[in-house]
Amino acid sequence: MGRNTANLDGGGVVRIAPARTRTLVDNYRNAARTMATAHHELSPLVNRAAELLGDVPRSITALEAAAINLTYDADDLSWRIDYIERTDGILLDRLNRGIAVADHDWADQNPRHMEIDAVIDLLATAETQQELVALVDWLVRSGMFEFADVVTGPFVLPEDLRPVFAGAVVHAYENGWRPPTPFSPRVTAGLVRYGDPSDNTVLSWASDALDDRSDFAVSVTANPFGIDAGETAFTPFGEYFLNNPAAGRTLINHLLDQHDATGDTQLNMHDDDAGRTVMLGNIVIAAGMHGTPDERAVFVDRLVNVLNADGNTNDAVFWSTWEAYAMLAHEHGIDQTTPTFDTHHLMPDWLRPHWEPLWNEKLSPDGVERIMGAAQHAQTYGPWVVGAGPALTVKRWWSSRDDIVETVVGNDPGGTYTTREKLPFTGSRFHFDTASQGRNAIVHSLRDGSDVGDISADEFAIIDHGIGPNGKPTYTINLPGVTDLSSPSPGWHPVHATVRDIDQAAAYSAHSSKVEDNLYAQMVVRALREIDVPLGSNLMIVGHSFGADTAADLAASTDFTENYNLTHVVAAAYDSVPQLADIDPNIEVLVLQNDNDYAIKGEILGRLASSGKPSVSINTFAHEVRAFDGGTKGVGHHQDNYNEYLYDTNDPEITTFYESITNTGYAQPGESFAVDVTLDESLL
C-alpha cells in the first residue's frame, strides 16, 4: 500500500487517511478492552474449576486455555496499537512527551492566562480528534486543572462548563493520551461525575480514590471540578457504581482479588472514613442484587468466603454482604456458602455461639427480624446501629413491622369476625431440612402473637397455606393468649372488649376441656364459618397461654374435629396436661411448659386447690409434653422463652413433630390475615 509521508520533528509519518487510522486504533482498543473484561470474568470460573478438580492430574481446562489466549490476544492488540501510533503519525507518543503542535494558533499560549470562554471555543472548534487530544494535553500541562495560583486557592471550573472539560479529557484519555503525571483522586472524581467515562476507565481510577486521604482544608488541593468538601473523593465513584451495578460487581471482585493475593483488602478499612465505608456497603448490595440468580450466587458466595476468612471487614460491607446473601436465599433459595463468625471483630462474644445457627436456619422475615433485633441490643454494634448499617439495610428488603403496626385498625370496639390482611407467611427456604421448616412454622406463630407481632388485642390470626400434600385446604390457626395478664383490667375492656380477656373469659374456661365453657373457642369456631374456611380442611392450631387452653379445648371437641381435619396442636405456656385425656390420640399435640413460667405455676396451684388432685401423668397419652428450664422474660411467660427452647432442643421426638408439620403442609408459604374477636354478645 502506497503512502505519502513527510518527516516531522521527533520522527513519525503521516498517513493519507488519518481518520481511517484513528478508527482502526479505536477498534483495536475496544477489542482489547472486551478481551480484558472477558479474561476477568473467566478467571473466577477457572479458579472454581481448579478447586473442583483439586489435585487430580488433568490437562489444561478449556476455560483456563481461553483465559490465557485472551491475555495473549489483548497483548497482541496492544502491540499493534503501539506500532500504529508510533509509525503512522498519530502523534500521541509525541504529545505525551509534551511536544507542542506548532501549526495551531493556540500552541504558544498559556491557557491559565486565557478567558474560560476562549478555552471552551478552542475545544468546541477542534478540527480533528488529534487536535482535541493535543488541546487537552496543552491544558493539562499548563496546570490549568490544578491551580490558579497559591494566593487565590485552587482553580474551580464553572459548573456549566465542567461537562465540556471533563468530556474532552475523558475522550483523550480513552484514546490513548495520558497526563504527564497521574491525575489526583479529586480530579478523577470530577471526570467520573461530569465526563461519562467507560466502566474500564472508572475502574482504573477507583482504587486510587478509595485510598485518597487528602484534606480539603489544604488550600492548594487540586479540585477543578468542585467536589463538595463534605464528600470523599470516592463519592462520585460510588454513585457511578450504584447506577452501574455490573461495574460495581467488577470493583468488589477486584478488591476481593486483593485479598486473595495479599490477605488484605480495602474492604477492611473499618470506619476510618464513614462515607467510603457506607458507599462500599451499598455497592455490595447493589451488585449482589444485579443479574441472574446464578451470577448473584457466584458473587455473594465469594464475598461470604472472604468474610469467613477475613475477620476485619468493615462493618457496612459485613452487614451488606449478609443482606445480599439473605435476599438471594429469600428470593431464590440459593445458599451456597455457610457463614461463619468465629474470628470476626464485629461479633460480640455473647452472641457468637448463637448467631450462626440463627442465620442458617431462619432467613424467613420473622427470623431475620429476630436476629437483627438481638444485634441491635448489643453495645458492640453501636456504629452500624446508629449509622447506615443493617438498621437501614434490613428495611430495604423486609418492611419494618413497626410500619405495619402503625397502619393496623385494631383494638376497636366493633367489627366482630371481620378480617384484616397481614404480611404473608413466607415459609422457609426450600433447601432447609424438613424439621427446620416445621420449627419455623411454630416459631413464626408464637412470635407473631407476642408483643412484637402483628396481632391486635381483639384478634387471632390465620395463615392460608393453599392445598396441602393430601389435597385438602390447609390452614394454621394462631391463638394468642390473654391481653390483660400484666395489667389486669376487671370486666370487659371498655374499648376493644376482646374475648381474650382473663377474668371474663379465660377464668371460666380453666376448669374444663369443653368448648361450651370457653368463649374464645366458641368465637374461633364461628369465625371459621363466617370467613368460609372449608369444612374438612387441614388445621394446625398454635396457642399461647389462654390460646393454648383454647387450642386444647377445640382439639377435645368431637363436634369440631368431625368438621375439620385437626392434625396438630402446639400448646405453649399453659397447664395443658389435664386436657390431654380428652384429645384424640390421632391428633399430634406438643405441650410446652417453662418451669420458670409463673403463670403456669399459678394455674397448677389453682387446679390443685379446687380438685386436690395432682397433674395427670404425662406418660398416659400419645402426645408430647416438654417441661424445660427456660428463660424468665415476662415472669417466664413470654413467647421468646418458648422459642428459645425450640431453637436449642435436639429432642428426637420434637424433631419428628417438626417433620410431621412440614409434611402436612403447614410450612408452605401462605396469605395471612387477622380475624376480629371483639366479644360476640350473642354467645353470652
213 within some domain: no
**Distance between CA atoms of residues 585 and 568, nearest Å:** 11
Region of 196 please: left (phi>0), alpha (psi -120 to 50) or beta: left
386 and 415 both lie in a single domain: no
Q: Of 371, 398, 425, which marks where a domain is finished?
A: 398
Instruction: Answer yes or no: is 119 within a domain.
Output: yes
Of 107-121, 138-152, 284-298, 486-500, the poorest mean pLDDT is in 138-152
Q: Give residue 332's pLDDT.
A: 65
Range from 146-150, 531-535, 621-625 carrying the lowest mean pLDDT: 146-150
The answer as to whether 5 is a domain residue is no
Q: What is the pTM of this model?
A: 0.53
> Quick check: helix, strand or coil at residue 178?
coil
Q: What's the total number of domains in the chain?
A: 4
Does residue 120 fall inside a structural domain?
A: yes
Within this chain, do residues 127 and 34 fall inside the same structural domain, yes or no?
no
419 & 478 share domain: yes
Give the pLDDT score at 10. 34
440 assigned to some structural domain: yes
Average pLDDT, integer, range 642-664 = 92
Name the DSSP letter for residue 290: S
Strands 538-544, 147-149: pairing kind: unpaired
pLDDT at 257: 87
Both 84 and 116 in one domain: the answer is no
Whether residue 205 is contained in a domain is answered as no
pLDDT in tens, 625-640: 899 999 999 899 999 8
Residues 430 and 300 in one domain: no
Adjacent-strand bridge partners of 590? 570, 624
Does the pLDDT of residue 545 top 50, yes or no? yes
Q: Is the pLDDT of residue 234 over 90?
A: no
**Secondary-structure percent of the chain, ordered helix, strand, coil, rounded to 5:** 55, 10, 40
Task: Confirm whether 249 is domain-assigned.
Answer: yes
Residue type, 358: L
**Contact status, residue 333 vs residue 343, Cβ threshold 8 Å:** no
Q: Per the structure block, which three cell numbers stand in for 90?
A: 498519530
Residues 144, 285 within the same domain? no
Q: Are residues 477 and 596 both part of a single domain?
A: yes
Last residue of a domain, one of 197, 222, 249: 197
State the DSSP code for 183: P
Which pLDDT band holds residue 215 (cuts at 50, 70, 90)?
low
Domain edge (last residue) among 146, 179, 197: 197
Say yes or no: 418 and 516 in one domain: yes
Task: Look at residue 212 and tell me if it is in a domain.
Answer: no
Judgement on whether residues 79 and 143 belong to the same structural domain of the protein: no
> Does residue 497 or residue 615 have the better pLDDT?
497
Average pLDDT in the 264-274 region? 65
In this structure, the answer to whether residues 432 and 387 fall within a common structural domain is no
Q: Which position has the higher pLDDT, 515 or 617?
A: 515
Whether residues 57 and 78 share a domain: the answer is yes
pLDDT digits (tens, 9 = 90+) for 47-96: 666 666 665 445 455 666 666 666 667 666 666 665 565 554 444 433 33
Higher pLDDT pick, 401 / 566: 566
- On whether both 542 and 452 belong to a single domain, the answer is yes
Provide the domain limits for residue 339. 230-398
